[in-house]
Structure 1
Amino acid sequence: MEWSAKIIIHHAESKIAVSFEKNAALIDRIKQFKGRYWSSTMKAWLLPDTEENRKHFGLPLVTDLLPNEDGIKALYNYKNWMRSKRYSESTIKTYMEAVKSFLTFFNKKATSDISNQDVIIYNNNYILKNNLSASYQNQIVSAIKLFFITVQDRKIEIESIHRPKRAKVLPNVLSKEEVKKILEAHSNIKHRAMLSLIYSCGLRAGELLALKPYHIDSNRQIILLKNSKGKKDRIAPLSPKILVLLRDYYKDYKPKTYLFEGQTEGKPYDARSLQVILKQALTKAKIDKPVTLHWLRHSYATHLLESGTDIRYIQELLGHSASKTTEIYTHVSTKKIQQIKSPFDDL
Structure 2
Amino acid sequence: MKWNARPLVHRAEYRILVATDDFETSQWIKTFTDARWSHTHRGWHVPDTERNRAVFRLAPKIDKSPDKSIVQQVARFKLWLQSRRYSENTVKTYADALICFLTFFVHKTVDEIDIDDLILFNNEYILEQKLSASYQNQIVNAVKLYFAQIQHRKLDVELIHRPKRQKLLPNVLSKAEVKMLLEAHVNFKHKVMLCMIYSCGLRSSELVGLKPTDIQSDRNVVVIRQAKGKKDRIVPLSPLILDMLRQYYTGYKPKVWLFEGNQPGAPFSAKSLQFVLKEAVRKTQIQKPVTLHWLRHSYATHLLESGTDLRYIQELLGHNSSKTTEIYTHVSTQSIQMIKSPFDDL
* Counterparts of residues 1-347 of structure 1 (less than 5 Å): 74-107=73-106, 109=108, 111-112=110-111, 114-152=113-151, 154-157=153-156, 162-347=161-346
Aligned alpha-carbon RMSD (Å): 2.5
How far the C-alpha of 1:178 sits from its partner, in A, is 1.5
Return closer, same or farther for 1:119/1:240 CA change in 2, 3 Å cut-off: same
How far the C-alpha of 1:96 sits from its partner, in A, is 2.1
| SS of match in other structure, 1:141 | helix
| SS of match in other structure, 1:234 | strand
Determine the C-alpha separation between the residues in 2 that align with 1:329 and 1:132: 27
Determine the C-alpha separation between the residues in 1 that align with 2:334 and 2:98: 45
Determine the C-alpha separation between the residues in 2 that align with 1:168 and 1:152: 34
Determine the C-alpha separation between the residues in 2 that align with 1:254 and 1:69: 47
Deviation digits for residues 227-271 of structure 1, max 9, x if unmatched? Answer: 211221111110111111111111111111111112211111232
Q: Which has the higher mean CA deviation after the structures are superposed, 190-199 or 279-288?
A: 279-288
Return closer, same or farther for 1:84/1:75 CA change in 2, 3 Å cut-off: same
Asked whether the 8 Å contact 2:304–2:329 carries over to 1, the reply is: yes
| SS of match in other structure, 1:163 | coil
Determine the C-alpha separation between the residues in 2 that align with 1:121 and 1:68: 21
Report which of the two structures shows the higher radius of gyration computed on alpha carbons: 2
Q: Which amino acid aligns with 1:257?
A: V
How far the C-alpha of 1:199 sits from its partner, in A, is 0.3
Return closer, same or farther for 1:66/1:131 CA change in 2, 3 Å cut-off: farther
Deviation digits for residues 35-74 of structure 1, max 9, x if unmatched? Answer: xxxxxxxxxxxxxxxxxxxxxxxxxxxxx99759987665
Determine the C-alpha separation between the residues in 2 that align with 1:188 and 1:79: 40
Determine the C-alpha separation between the residues in 1 that align with 2:140 and 2:322: 24
Q: Which amino acid aligns with 2:199?
A: S
Determine the C-alpha separation between the residues in 1 that align with 2:102 and 2:278: 41
Return closer, same or farther for 1:274/1:73 CA change in 2, 3 Å cut-off: closer
Identity of aligned residues (%): 62
Determine the C-alpha separation between the residues in 2 that align with 1:80 and 1:274: 30
Asked whether the 8 Å contact 2:140–2:157 carries over to 1, the reply is: no
Query: Size of the alignment, in residue pairs?
Result: 284
Return closer, same or farther for 1:196/1:289 CA change in 2, 3 Å cut-off: same
**TM-score scaled to structure 1, two decimals?**
0.74
Return closer, same or farther for 1:67/1:128 CA change in 2, 3 Å cut-off: farther
How far the C-alpha of 1:325 sits from its partner, in A, is 1.2
Gaps (5+ residues) in structure 1?
1-63
Asked whether the 8 Å contact 1:114–1:156 carries over to 2, the reply is: no
Greater relative CO, 1 or 2 (CA 8 Å, sep 6+): 1
Return closer, same or farther for 1:152/1:194 CA change in 2, 3 Å cut-off: closer
| SS of match in other structure, 1:236 | strand
Asked whether the 8 Å contact 2:148–2:154 carries over to 1, the reply is: no
Q: Which amino acid aligns with 1:283?
A: R
**TM-score scaled to structure 2, two decimals?**
0.75
Return closer, same or farther for 1:297/1:126 CA change in 2, 3 Å cut-off: same
Deviation digits for residues 270-293 of structure 1, max 9, x if unmatched? Answer: 323322222332233342222111
Q: Which amino acid aligns with 1:258?
A: W
Asked whether the 8 Å contact 1:174–1:296 carries over to 2, the reply is: yes
Determine the C-alpha separation between the residues in 2 that align with 1:107 and 1:254: 52
Determine the C-alpha separation between the residues in 2 that align with 1:342 and 1:83: 55
Asked whether the 8 Å contact 2:220–2:237 carries over to 1, the reply is: yes
Asked whether the 8 Å contact 2:201–2:297 carries over to 1, the reply is: yes
Q: Which amino acid aligns with 1:131?
A: K
Determine the C-alpha separation between the residues in 2 that align with 1:106 and 1:285: 48
| SS of match in other structure, 1:233 | strand
Deviation digits for residues 142-178 of structure 1, max 9, x if unmatched? Answer: 2112112214552413566542222221111011121
Deviation digits for residues 87-112 of structure 1, max 9, x if unmatched? Answer: 23443233223223323333455545
